[in-house]
């Protein structure tokens, strides 16, 4: 199994299981980036608990779904954002969210992966990884 974009695979797996109304999603292969993205989603209330399962190969992540994800996906190519761009929500971020107050853009900052709202409060810039609403 060859996966070129593991983050895209993980977000697509969550979205597909939400559409099917499953309570659980299994993401494989696992990575540190995916775990930090899941922590940011959990902090915002989009998913429940998750656990890493070491299978001796790539690893798996079991995610509890709460039914709150309407859509999620990666942002490709990954745009770099500065602090002022996150406050004003530039056009390419508006493309991914349905409204200004609905959803989050997942941003990789020097302090870790967080939502664009939290990054703007912390006055941090970063790279846009994905969106969730």
Per-residue pLDDT for the chain (133 aa), expressed as one digit of tens each?
A: 567 899 999 999 999 999 999 999 999 999 999 999 999 999 999 999 999 999 999 899 999 999 999 999 999 898 888 888 777 767 777 889 998 789 999 999 999 999 998 998 999 999 999 999 9
The domains of the chain are located at 6-65, 72-132
- Asked whether the beta carbons of 73 and 45 are under 8 A apart, the reply is no
Instruction: Determine how many CB atoms are found less than 10 A away from the CB of residue 10.
Output: 27
CATH class (in words) of the domain with range 72-132: alpha beta
Strands 24-27 and 104-109: unpaired
Q: Give this prediction's pTM.
A: 0.92
CATH class (in words) of the domain with range 6-65: alpha beta
């Amino acid at each position: 199994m060859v996966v070129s974009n593991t983050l895209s695979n993980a977000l697509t797996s969550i979205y597909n299981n939400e559409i099917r109304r499953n309570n659980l999603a299994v993401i494989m292969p696992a990575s540190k980036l995916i775990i930090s993205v899941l922590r940011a989603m959990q902090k915002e209330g989009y998913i429940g608990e998750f656990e890493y399962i070491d299978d001796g190969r790539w690893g798996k992540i079991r995610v509890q779904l709460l039914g709150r994800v309407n859509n999620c996906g990666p942002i490709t190519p990954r745009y770099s954002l500065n602090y002022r761009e996150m406050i004003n929500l530039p056009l390419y971020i508006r493309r991914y969210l349905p409204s200004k107050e609905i959803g989050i853009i997942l941003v990789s900052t020097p302090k870790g992966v967080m939502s664009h709202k939290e990054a703007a409060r912390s006055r941090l810039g970063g790279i846009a990884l994905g969106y969730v609403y």
